[in-house]
A and B are shown apart, each in its own frame.
Chain A
Amino acid sequence: MGVSVLTRRERIIRALNHQEPDRVPFDIGGTAASSIHPDVYGGVLSLLGWPPEAEFTKHVTVLTEMVTPSEKFLDHVDACVRKVGPQIPRRDEEGPGYVQRYVDEWGVTWARADEVSEFADKGGPFQRHEPSEQELERYAWPDISDPSRYVGIREEVERVRRETDAAVVCEIPYGIVRECQRMRGFTEFLEDLLINQTYAEALMEKVVDVVTAIIDRTLDEVPDPDVCLWAEDMGFQERAYMRPELYRRMVKPYHRRLVEAIQKRTDAKVMVHSDGSIRELLADLVDIGVQVINPVQVSAAGMDSAELKREFGADLSFWGAIDTQHVLPFASPDEVKHEVKVRIHDLATGGGYVAASGHNIQREVPPENVLAMIEAVHDYGEYPLVSQQ
């Protein structure tokens, strides 16, 4: 039987339609949680015997100092997606020769330890205030019409469609719980969900209004994305941020509105990002229309890849899953290959899996392990899978 030749975009679409493509699609650099640290990227290029790429596009997302690899590299490693999406406006940048501290459009302060570290949020506008709905009314919410937010998106989509055969992920870099926690304080907002419920709802209402408006405006620029990704965070290492009942009662209605804003505009697959242990929330996410989860943090409690596939594989596709907490940084290249083999075995039968690191590839990951991951996806990723033969 002849091997069908699919474009990378078709490979992604088939996999996310729960069909088996020619091989398991691979992503590196295609989402804000599957990128690679510049030092490691440099190391990988050197292992390949390639010259350094001076023109690294450092995309310091709100969180990490990561690079979008060059097209040459992405093509070489068979990376199947490219991401596009709105810029996150910043102000009040400061630091000793590099940006160490800034304030984002929501009024949240971000800081990092040094030039090569991640940013973390260090305080929001409503933190330590008495909960006040009047304050929410008066607050200067992000200006969704600010054109600088959408600069270059359309051109990038056109470039990807013209110059590559990859799928387009439209990344909406916002969630609801996450934005509320950043503005109100991580623990304060979790407390509000129980003891200041009217206030918590008013805050989520404001946030979802902004986020859905940005989704709408962004999708004007990206008329036909293949995947639309939004970024939440709802999992600790050991369990979800909140019990499913509380999620259902307080948060789910706002998540539903966010997903509907996407569905109203596009048939793209809806993907949500959340680190950590979120298994107990997955049925509700499926219920509101989520079709793909990322980054599938298999080292978190309850996130065993075989069990997830068994329980949710009919409704959900899985994007990520190659362990970044223990394997990629600390194991040997052979162990990395084994890890990839296991995830493909667990998740890729019948499609429904995009292989990628289970979060960004951090500074301490040996470049050898990145190459081992790429090789293993190639070696074990061909359909019919080894485990099916």
Chain B
Amino acid sequence: MEYDELTQAVIDGDAPRAEMLTRQAIEQGMNAEAVLAYGLIQAMSIVGERFGTGEIYVPEMLIAARAMKKCLLILKPILAQGSHEPAGTVVIGTVKGDIHDVGKNIVSIMLEGAGFEVHDLGVDVTPEAFVRAVEDERPDIVGLSALLTTTMLVMRDVIAALATAGVRDKVKVLVGGAPVTDEFATEIGADAYAPDAAAASVTAKSLIASAVSVGEGDE
């Protein structure tokens, strides 16, 4: 099995072929970690780029992510035996008062595609529930979503609650949703804003990278 073939099958959203190639790779004794990195995550990174340039749309992105997930199910038991670390951990949810989850779900799919471990708190999530999840899961990133102009204002409350609980500086806050803008993100003290799911996964990676470099600088 060549990584390129697997990557292409995932990009095409051809789940049966991608699964077949993943099984083949394992049977051939290839390293599961490498199959994940060079086959699957590589594919989703290309998918993200192509979405960003407008070459593909959400449906193509979704079937690629679906194929990727099916392959991941094959790899997971093997990865669990080794010392595999996810790209990072994300706690994500739609803020209180808002029960729209289309955007948030697509973001979760793309984050998983990028190798993140995602804890999805669902919709109508109170600031307290975000704080609890940060304390329990110790994520690198908290993702906040809102569709409505009414509820995007609640993002500010979540950030305040994180500060009050003394965990604001332990996480990066990434915000998104139709009415949200870069300016709004800055105004409420979020760390980053992403306009779509592909951008969210790229931004999440760079947030992790910047957190690591800041951490190293502190030492």
Contacts and interface: CB of A to CB of B under 8 A. Distances in A.
Is this pair of chains taken from one and the same complex?
Answer: yes
A193 B178 contact: no
A324 interface: yes
B8 interface: no
Contact of A363 (B99, B109, B123, B150): B150
B58 A111 contact: no
Main secondary structure of the interface of B (DSSP, over half): loop
Interface in B75-116: 96-103, 105-106, 109
Given A113-B96, A120-B99, A238-B196, A330 B59 contact: no
Interface in A306-329: 324-326, 329
B166 interface: no
Contact of A246 (B59, B96, B100): B59
A342 interface: no
A325 B178 contact: yes
B25 interface: no
Interface string A335-369: 00000000000000000000000000011100000
- Counting chain A CB atoms within 10 Å of each CB, the highest count among B97, B106, B153, B195 belongs to B97
A187 interface: yes
B149 A239 contact: no
Contacts of A220: none
B168 to A, nearest CB: 25
A190 B62 contact: yes
A272 to B, nearest CB: 19
Contact of A325 (B54, B62, B98, B149): B149
A260 B169 CA distance: 58
Contacts of A243: 56-57, 59-60
B51 to A, nearest CB: 9
Interface residues of A, number: 35
Interface string A213-256: 00000000000000000000000111111110010000000000
A201 interface: no
B99 A111 contact: yes
A242 B59 CA distance: 6
Nearest to A240: B57
Given A117-B99, A329-B149, A239 B62 contact: no
A242 B62 CA distance: 11
Interface residues of B, number: 33
Given A195-B13, A325-B178, A186 B57 contact: no
A194 B105 CA distance: 19
Interface string B58-75: 111011001000000000
Contacts of B106: 187
B178 A237 contact: yes
B57 A193 contact: no
Contact of A113 (B58, B101, B105, B124): B124
A363 B151 CA distance: 10
Contact of B102 (A118, A186, A326, A364): A186
A198 to B, nearest CB: 16
B26 interface: no
B59 to A, nearest CB: 4
B59 A193 contact: yes
Interface in A266-305: 276, 299-300
A224 B128 CA distance: 54
Contacts of B181: 326
A71 interface: no
B59 A326 contact: no
B202 interface: no
Given A112-B99, A113-B124, A122-B99, A194 B149 contact: no
B179 interface: yes
Given A117-B99, A187-B105, A237-B195, A246 B124 contact: no
A362 B59 contact: no
Contacts of A120: 99-101, 123
A41 B153 CA distance: 21
A277 B100 CA distance: 18
Contacts of B196: 236-238
A135 interface: no
B188 interface: no
Nearest to B199: A238
Contacts of A242: 57-59
B133 interface: no
Interface of A: 111-114, 117-118, 120, 122, 186-187, 190-191, 193-195, 236-243, 246, 276, 299-300, 324-326, 329-330, 362-364
Given A111-B99, A113-B123, 7 more contacts: A187-B105, A191-B66, A193-B59, A194-B13, A246-B59, A276-B178, A326-B179
The 9 closest A-B pairs by CB, nearest first: A190-B59, A113-B124, A325-B179, A237-B178, A329-B149, A120-B99, A243-B57, A186-B102, A113-B97
13 contacts: A111-B99, A113-B96, A113-B98, A117-B150, A194-B59, A194-B63, A195-B15, A236-B103, A241-B58, A243-B59, A324-B149, A329-B150, A362-B149
